[in-house]
């Protein structure tokens, strides 16, 4: 057996025989965004169906989640949502995929998570994944880290340049948020002042208990919710040091991603 085949088998055995992982681990893919930064590519289709090396972005998200052991997925939809429904009607991935319909009102990430509560809350472990993210992070490692420490949420972060950062203390507990361009701050704990900044990767693992602590309603940011909860609860960071992470919000970034994936 070749080395790459052995690694592939090892990954799946880890999913099957890890007793901590629920056999009904669910995920939500945030795919409802308007994709305004990708105009004109999104003038007639949703961001989720923009092609990357011949495959739509949502194909990468779904296959990565299934590789990690996810058995059911909900996709929130808004902009050209009927096209996403049609795509899954024509393409089977071997797991149930349902939709959380936000076509009448876009709810942002926090509101989108809350709207999908009835589908997600019976799964003790939930992965949330932004559709426009391409990453080499090992989701099995993130889930294992989450199960080891059992916070309400584990946020995947990286050391990279951006204007807005999440701050974490020495125990990787979320302590705040800062926009380094405008100097705006949101402070969760006093350890904020000695914490280190990391960039959020748009990937998170949640414990279902978080739903009982959501007091926000309608449209709200999941990050603002985490900042509130971090004042009294464990919201942890997972430092991703894998080969690449790509936010495909602009057309030029799509082209860069195609080159990186081709090399890998």
Digit-coded pLDDT (tens) for 220-235 = 999 999 999 999 999 9
pTM of the model: 0.89
Q: Which band of pLDDT confidence, cut at 50, 70 and 90, is reported for residue 11?
A: very low
Q: Which band of pLDDT confidence, cut at 50, 70 and 90, is reported for residue 153?
A: very high
Q: What is the reported pLDDT for 3?
A: 47
Cα–Cα dist 52/58, whole Å:
10
Contact 146, 140 (CB under 8 A): no
Angle, CA 139 vertex, CA 134 and CA 143 arms, to 5°: 145
Cα–Cα dist 258/126, whole Å:
29
Q: What is the reported pLDDT for 249?
A: 72
DSSP string, 50-65: -EETTEEHHHHHHHHH
Q: Which band of pLDDT confidence, cut at 50, 70 and 90, is reported for residue 13?
A: very low
Residue listed under structure tokens 């960071």: 237
List of domains in the chain: 3-263 (3.90.550.10)
Q: Which band of pLDDT confidence, cut at 50, 70 and 90, is reported for residue 20?
A: very low
Contact 178, 165 (CB under 8 A): yes
**Gyration radius (Cα) of the chain, Å:** 18
pLDDT digits (tens, 9 = 90+) for 94-118: 999 999 999 999 999 999 999 999 9
Q: What is the reported pLDDT for 250?
A: 67
DSSP string, 137-195: --HHHHHHHHHHH--SEEEEEE----SEEEEE-TT-BEEEEEETTT--EEESSGGGGG-
pLDDT digits (tens, 9 = 90+) for 52-83: 999 999 999 999 999 999 999 999 999 999 99
């Amino acid at each position: 057996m070749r080395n790459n085949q052995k690694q592939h088998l090892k990954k799946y055995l880890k999913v099957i025989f890890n007793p901590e992982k629920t056999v009904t681990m669910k995920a939500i893919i945030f795919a409802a965004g308007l994709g305004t930064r990708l105009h004109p590519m999104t003038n007639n289709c949703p961001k989720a169906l923009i092609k990357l090396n011949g495959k739509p972005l949502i194909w990468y998200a779904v296959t990565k989640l299934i590789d990690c052991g996810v058995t059911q997925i909900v996709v929130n939809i808004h902009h050209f949502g009927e096209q996403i429904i049609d795509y899954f009607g024509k393409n089977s991935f071997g797991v149930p995929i349902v939709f959380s319909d936000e076509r009448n009102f876009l709810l942002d990430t926090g509101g989108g998570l809350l709207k999908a509560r009835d589908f997600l809350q019976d799964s003790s472990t939930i992965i949330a994944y932004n559709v426009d993210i391409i990453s080499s992070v090992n989701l099995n490692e993130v889930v294992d880290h989450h199960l080891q420490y059992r916070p309400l949420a584990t946020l995947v972060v990286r050391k990279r340049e951006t204007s807005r950062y999440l701050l974490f203390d020495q125990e990787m507990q979320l302590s705040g948020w800062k926009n380094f361009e405008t100097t705006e701050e949101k402070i969760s704990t006093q350890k904020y002042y000695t914490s280190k900044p990391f960039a959020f990767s748009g990937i998170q693992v949640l414990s279902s208990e978080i739903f009982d602590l959501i007091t926000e309603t309608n449209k709200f940011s999941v990050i603002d919710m985490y900042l509130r909860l971090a004042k009294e609860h464990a919201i942890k960071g997972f430092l991703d040091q894998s080969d690449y992470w790509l936010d495909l919000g602009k057309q030029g970034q799509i082209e860069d991603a195609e080159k990186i994936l081709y090399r890998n």
